Each structure stands twice: as C-alpha cells, then as structure tokens.
Amino acid sequence: MRAAAGLSASALVAGLFLADRLTKALVLRHLRPVESVALAPFFHLTYVENTGAAFGMGPRRNGLFIAVAAALLAGLLYLRRRWPKDNAWLQYGALLVVAGALGNLYDRVAYGFVVDFLDFRVWPVFNLADSCVTVGACVLAWGLHKEDKKA
C-alpha cells in the first residue's frame, strides 16, 4: 500500500511539473517577451520573464531565490514524511507546493527567470507552478488547522 501511495504522490508531482513545463515551452516557442494575446476580455496570455519573487514581486536576486527554494523543498519533503499519513490535506498540500516549487526552480536554473503567462488583468501575471504553490499553501494551512483541532 505504501509503495502505491508513493507512486501516486510521485505521479501527481511529475504530472503537474510536466504540465507546467509544457505550458511554459509553448509560451517560449510562440510568444515574444511582453507579447500579449487576448483570449477573452478578462484573460490574456502575456509572456513575462519574472526575475523577482512570486507574482513578480520582490527584488531581482535569482541566486538567493534558487537557494531558498531548494532549502524549502528539502524542508517540506522532510516534514511531509513526518506528518500524519491520514491527513490528506497536509499530504496533498505539500505535494502541490513541491510540484510548483520544482517548476519555478527549473526555470530559475535553466533561464535565470521564471516564465509567467497567465494574465487575468487584475493580478500580476503568473503560471501553473505559482498556482500549485498558492493552492498547496492554502491546503497545507487547512491541514495544519485540522491537526490543531485534533490536539
């Protein structure tokens, strides 16, 4: 049973990472930096080379972001092994954060920036990996809340 759970966890992370890579590869192939294509009045594909932190915020310190992301990934993977296996909120929240962090870490190492392209016109441009990190962090917070209620 544990091997199957490990395989499904790996498959989830790999699937999200590959979806992130595929969408970014399409953007890199078909759009020029800062080019924007309207798909709907409220949604554009806008190619941004993000050298800052999440959602384009923060200073341009790529080396620092790489080191922090790698340390956080290692810490999160360590904690995930220690968290209760029956708390799916913690387990899957961690996996979402790991998948997203790996996607953006890959970009920083390979290109020196993160490829962002999802543009809803009312929020900074972002990508699938950012979504995984954000949703995963919310799921993790809920899982931690559930653990606190048990104690």
The pLDDT tens digits for 60-114 are 788 888 999 999 999 999 999 999 989 999 999 999 999 999 999 999 999 999 9
Q: Which residues does 5 contact at the CB level (< 8 Å), separation at least 6?
A: 85
pLDDT at residue 151 is higher than 80: no
Residue 119 lies in a domain: yes
The pLDDT tens digits for 19-33 are 999 999 999 999 999
Q: What is the pLDDT of residue 24?
A: 99
Beta strands in the chain (DSSP E): 36-40, 43-50, 114-119
The reported pTM is 0.89
Residue 145 lies in a domain: yes
Tell me which residues are annotated as active site.
Answer: 116, 130
Instruction: Classify the C-alpha dihedral 96-102-105-107 as positive or negative.
Output: negative
Q: Which residue range is the domain that position 138 belongs to?
A: 11-26+33-150
Residue 17 lies in a domain: yes
Looking at residues 9-14, what average pLDDT do you find?
A: 95
The pLDDT tens digits for 27-50 are 999 999 999 999 999 999 999 999
Average pLDDT of the chain is: 92
Residue 6 lies in a domain: no
Residue 110 lies in a domain: yes
Residue 2 lies in a domain: no
Looking at residues 118-122, what average pLDDT do you find?
A: 97
Q: How many domains does the chain have?
A: 1
Q: What is the pLDDT of residue 25?
A: 98
Rounded Cα distance between 6 and 133, Å, is: 20
CA dihedral 129, 143, 66, 26 (to 10 degrees): -10
Residue 93 lies in a domain: yes
Residue 4 lies in a domain: no
